[in-house]
Structure 1
Amino acid sequence: MAASSNSSLSGSSVSSDPEDYQPPIWKSYLYQLQQEAPRPKRITCPQEMENRPKHYGREFHGMISRERADELLGSAEGAYLIRESQRQPGSYTLALRFGHQTLNYRLFYDGKHFVGEKRFESVHDLVTDGLITLYIETKAAEYIARMTTNPIYEHLGYTSLLRDKIVHRLSRVRNEPKKVTFQKDGKISSPLVRHSAIKDCPEKHCNYEKVHNFKVHTFRGPHWCEYCANFLWGLIAQGVRCSDCGLNVHKQCSKLVPSDCQPDLRCIKKVFSCDLTTLVKAHNTPRPMVLDMCIREIEHRGLKSEGLYRVSGFTEHVEDVKLAFDRDGEKAEISATIYPDINIITGVLKLYLRDLPIPVITYDVYSKFIQASKIPDPDTRLEGIHDGLQLLPPAHYETLRYLMAHLKRVTMNEKDNFMSAENLGIVFGPTLMRPPDQNTLSTLNDMRYQKLIVQLLIEHEDILF
């Protein structure tokens, strides 16, 4: 039923490994139907209507009946007019001729014209899009229902053995027993002891699973769905685009796309306030490069500065460094030559963590950590914290692990910097943990537990991670 053609008309941006790349075959059947769809034919009112709303033109016919509207439209496919309701003065109806009958839609205006979710600059555009949708859905209902059954997505390089390995690794971690055993002397036995014994192995880049960040998008010019290879029909809001990797798909196809988003740096507008997993995948790093660069600079200068992380740096300079990261990424200059005050760098690190849209200790596991912190028995409490850590997304876990190892080294210089694990817990508790409801009262009530969690993570970093 469907004809096929090469992608000479396609504006889609499919990326794949050059060695495996084959020119995609875009299915043009729906594109051909859009070309065949009836064109709008405005039925103008022969006289000037005094009560015509300013956002309507000569297609407005005033307060006429459905029967009169049907007569005026005649038999021409695509003919349309606007009338005011006789039963509800002040409400307006779009009368449209399609499929040898007159269809009536309640018409709204809030700065743009709409009858459903889509909003249009003009009534003409609304009718054009409506006719395309009606025609395609009438002619190709069965085709649309089965167009996702043999997706081209699987053959265009979006999926790989690497993704399969990631899924396998994540499922293995999630299915492993989380039980931690404690010896009578209070020391934690395997598996945490074994884990801590191998934690110093050479670091590997992590390939984290990430879902696409789809948003409704209006495509200029013909575009094809990069999941099913069918045309994205309509005049506006034809589909969705992943704002992190640029993948273009139908709205219905977006529900079937695997969680293997590979963010493109060209789509990532900034470093701060960017989702943590998105940023590390875009830069192909195990942790945010802000974290690595700041910690490296702080430890290079030494960890003996009094009040490290407690003393605030000059706000204007902290903002300057933030802008440098957003603008230059890993090429941002944060050396002592440019910013001699170490508190500026610590301030930037804290600001980065505070600005994350999803905190390092995510909203999903926040309550589990808070509940664990309330357990009176120290051993059982650590067991609960360890269980919470296993539920963190891999990028968040790795970020927290690296940060706690750094803060542990800060506490080893406590006699000079006066920063104990408890003091650092006060500083980093609200930064790393935020309650999902953002309720002021619950935030205040939880602050002591947030502090305790971070304190315990630092003190027991060697066995918890």
Structure 2
Amino acid sequence: MAASSNSSLSGSSVSSDPEDYQPPIWKSYLYRLQQEAPRPKRMTCPQEMETRPKYYGREFHGMLSRECADELLGGAEGAYLVRESQRQPGTHTLALRYCTQYTHTHLLTKYTHLVKNALPTYPLYLPLPRFGDQTLNYRLFYDGKHFVGEKRFETVHDLVTDGLITLYIETKAAEYIAKMTTNPIYEHLGYTSLLKDKMGHRLSRGHTEPRRVTFQREDSKITTSPLVRHSTLKDCPSEKQSSYDKIHNFKVHTFRGPHWCEYCANFMWGLIAQGVHCSDCGLNVHKQCSKLVPSDCQPDLRRIKKVFSCDLTTLVKAHNTTRPMVVDMCIKEIELRGLQSEGLYRVSGFSEHIEDVRLAFDRDGEKADISANVYNDINIIAGALKLYLRDLPIPVITFHVYSRFIQAAKIPNPDTRLEAIHEGLLQLPPAHYETLRYLMMHLKKVTMFEKDNFMNSENLGIVFGPTLMQPPEQNALATLNDMRHQKLIIQLLIENEDVLF
């Protein structure tokens, strides 16, 4: 199983390297096997079949038994045809001739000649005796594209080509594939080390000192609750949660030309959907390797196409900030000239102007101009901030902890309720926590000008409840029932900002 040192074949997305960086050795064994894989041979029907569906060509032979299909294919490896099933009329079967004569451990898949309705995707390795050619039969489907498993192809010929490659590689290299993730090159790619320096100062501006507070109970005895003990004995969450870990945003991807896995360095075989691609950082790996890649995705600004509607953690990591720059810039502008504005956050700005602000952030990022020279009405900036928070794909108070907060709002005892809210806050991802903390500090300032802006914590809770909290399942009745709890949670976060954060 030789390896090749030719890294230019990899199609790797690794960027500029430090001086001591050594390029990885891309392993060419599986690439050579793909080149050796049998080629498909279409067995055409000599007569025109009136029952032939329009999406099949002359490879369609009408209704045939398995035995007749086997005779028509003969001994030609890679030969294939499409037939209508005798057992299930109206359904179609791909008959494929494949040789399984190998002297070492063979691959027996979940579907091959055990369940003949899909191309092999989940391998099961068994020692099998030598045996000769056989015809494999797969249930064939069409929904605009041809498929027998997850992959979809424009033509049956492409489907067979990919299937033969998969069968050949997973048969000849079963043992190799089972072991290929044991010596990953991921840590040696420079992917993590190249970006570590950028992370060092990322959160330094977001640290605060722990607050020392006590609750005054009804019996006038001053006691400390678990929440207070937590804040006095431990670092505050904004310090403790200083590592903005982010999982990769992997999606199945079709690579054009030869491509190698940036985790195990092995070739990604097949015609289409050979692996997965992280749309945030550009990492390319096998699907099975993606389960082993650490959660240290470093988004690349060149891949982040917009600011609004972008995942919160992705945005802050891409821009190297503790919070989204939209939140910082809008709050700074509002506190500069809008805290005394009547109906702040309740009064809507012109929607077309708010849309202009959104486009400016998406286009210019932190260089967007939202000053009074451009947008004199502060309600436009306030509206843009609310729109940004409302359009997050994962709300600031995430779907994962939504029910925890709703249940906390239902607790009658005030101290126990705050404890439950505090526990919910600790479950938030760090970027979400920091964004919420900073926003609550700002809204607390807004309430200090209530005599001018007529916005107290309850009013702000009504405005920001549905904006910061959205139920995981959009059920109109449930959402309506939760609104008062959403309002209460935000109201309590504002009023107890100094305790909870």
Shift of 1:76: 1.4
Aligned to 2:176: 143
Distance of 2:282 and 2:194 partners within structure 1? 22
Aligned to 1:118: 151
Distance of 1:205 and 1:322 partners within structure 2? 29
Alpha-carbon spacing, 1:432–1:20, altered in 2? closer, same or farther (3 Å): farther
Aligned to 1:102: 135
User: Could you list the per-position Cα deviations for residues 274-303 of structure 1 after superposition, in whole angstroms to 9, with x for gaps in the alignment?
Assistant: 111111111110001110111111112231
| 2:188 alignment partner AA | H
Shift of 1:190: 3.9
User: Could you list the per-position Cα deviations for residues 38-86 of structure 1 after superposition, in whole angstroms to 9, with x for gaps in the alignment?
Assistant: 1111111122222211111111112222222212212111111111122
Alpha-carbon spacing, 1:381–1:20, altered in 2? closer, same or farther (3 Å): farther
Alpha-carbon spacing, 1:80–1:56, altered in 2? closer, same or farther (3 Å): same
| 2:399 alignment partner AA | Y
Shift of 1:20: 4.2
Distance of 1:156 and 1:387 partners within structure 2? 39
User: Could you list the per-position Cα deviations for residues 425-451 of structure 1 after superposition, in whole angstroms to 9, with x for gaps in the alignment?
Assistant: 111011111122222222112211111
TM-score calculated relative to the size of structure 2: 0.85
Shift of 1:336: 1.3
Aligned to 1:229: 265
Shift of 1:89: 2.2
Aligned to 1:13: 13
- Aligned pairs for 1:204-243 (under 5 A) are 206-243=242-279
3-state SS of 1:455 partner: helix
Alpha-carbon spacing, 1:36–1:162, altered in 2? closer, same or farther (3 Å): closer
Distance of 1:15 and 1:194 partners within structure 2? 44
Aligned to 2:40: 40
| 2:178 alignment partner AA | A
Q: Which moved more, 1:425-434 or 1:180-189?
A: 180-189
- Aligned pairs for 1:260-339 (under 5 A) are 260-339=296-375
Whether contact under 8 Å (2:444, 2:495) holds in the other structure is yes
Whether contact under 8 Å (1:16, 1:158) holds in the other structure is no
Distance of 1:374 and 1:113 partners within structure 2? 53
User: Could you list the per-position Cα deviations for residues 232-274 of structure 1 after superposition, in whole angstroms to 9, with x for gaps in the alignment?
Assistant: 0000000111111111111111111111111111222221111
Aligned to 1:455: 491
Distance of 2:244 and 2:360 partners within structure 1? 26
Shift of 1:95: 1.1
Aligned to 1:175: none
3-state SS of 1:106 partner: strand
User: Could you list the per-position Cα deviations for residues 174-201 of structure 1 after superposition, in whole angstroms to 9, with x for gaps in the alignment?
Assistant: xxxxxx97463377644435789x89x9
Alpha-carbon spacing, 1:285–1:141, altered in 2? closer, same or farther (3 Å): same
Shift of 1:94: 1.0
Q: Which moved more, 1:329-338 or 1:279-288?
A: 329-338
Shift of 1:330: 1.5
Shift of 1:161: 11
Distance of 1:209 and 1:405 partners within structure 2? 24
| 2:472 alignment partner AA | P
Aligned to 2:65: 65
Aligned to 1:154: 187
Q: Which moved more, 1:17-26 or 1:273-282?
A: 17-26
Shift of 1:406: 0.7
Whether contact under 8 Å (2:214, 2:223) holds in the other structure is no
Distance of 1:444 and 1:247 partners within structure 2? 42
Whether contact under 8 Å (1:43, 1:59) holds in the other structure is yes
Give 5+ residue unaligned stretches, structure 1: 167-179
Aligned to 2:31: 31
| 1:127 alignment partner AA | V
Whether contact under 8 Å (2:444, 2:494) holds in the other structure is yes
Whether contact under 8 Å (1:206, 1:285) holds in the other structure is no
Distance of 1:206 and 1:408 partners within structure 2? 24
3-state SS of 1:27 partner: coil
Distance of 1:282 and 1:211 partners within structure 2? 13
Aligned to 2:22: 22
Structure 2 residue 87 is matched with structure 1 residue 87: yes
Distance of 1:420 and 1:49 partners within structure 2? 77
Shift of 1:3: 2.6
Give 5+ residue unaligned stretches, structure 2: 100-132, 200-212
| 1:259 alignment partner AA | S
Choose which of 176, 179, 185 in structure 1 pairs with 2:222. 185
Distance of 2:435 and 2:327 partners within structure 1? 8
Distance of 1:90 and 1:364 partners within structure 2? 45
Whether contact under 8 Å (2:326, 2:361) holds in the other structure is yes
| 2:94 alignment partner AA | L
User: Could you list the per-position Cα deviations for residues 202-227 of structure 1 after superposition, in whole angstroms to 9, with x for gaps in the alignment?
Assistant: x9995400111111110001110111
3-state SS of 1:72 partner: helix
Choose which of 425, 434, 438 in structure 1 pairs with 2:470. 434
Whether contact under 8 Å (2:277, 2:284) holds in the other structure is yes
Choose which of 373, 388, 409 in structure 1 pairs with 2:445. 409
Distance of 1:16 and 1:214 partners within structure 2? 23
| 1:104 alignment partner AA | N
| 1:51 alignment partner AA | T
3-state SS of 1:25 partner: coil
Aligned to 1:172: none
3-state SS of 2:473 partner: coil
Whether contact under 8 Å (2:396, 2:469) holds in the other structure is yes
Distance of 2:344 and 2:168 partners within structure 1? 67
| 2:449 alignment partner AA | N
Choose which of 383, 408, 411 in structure 2 pairs with 1:347. 383
- Aligned pairs for 1:166-185 (under 5 A) are 182=215, 184-185=221-222
Structure 2 residue 292 is matched with structure 1 residue 259: no
Distance of 1:442 and 1:398 partners within structure 2? 28
3-state SS of 2:83 partner: strand
Distance of 1:366 and 1:392 partners within structure 2? 10
| 1:327 alignment partner AA | R
Distance of 2:362 and 2:147 partners within structure 1? 38
Distance of 1:49 and 1:381 partners within structure 2? 73
Alpha-carbon spacing, 1:248–1:161, altered in 2? closer, same or farther (3 Å): closer
Whether contact under 8 Å (1:82, 1:92) holds in the other structure is yes
3-state SS of 1:105 partner: strand
- Aligned pairs for 1:365-380 (under 5 A) are 365-380=401-416
State percent identity of aligned pairs.
83
Q: How many residues align?
A: 447
Alpha-carbon spacing, 1:181–1:27, altered in 2? closer, same or farther (3 Å): farther
Distance of 2:250 and 2:23 partners within structure 1? 25
3-state SS of 1:4 partner: coil
TM-score calculated relative to the size of structure 1: 0.91
Distance of 2:292 and 2:184 partners within structure 1? 10
Distance of 2:495 and 2:194 partners within structure 1? 39
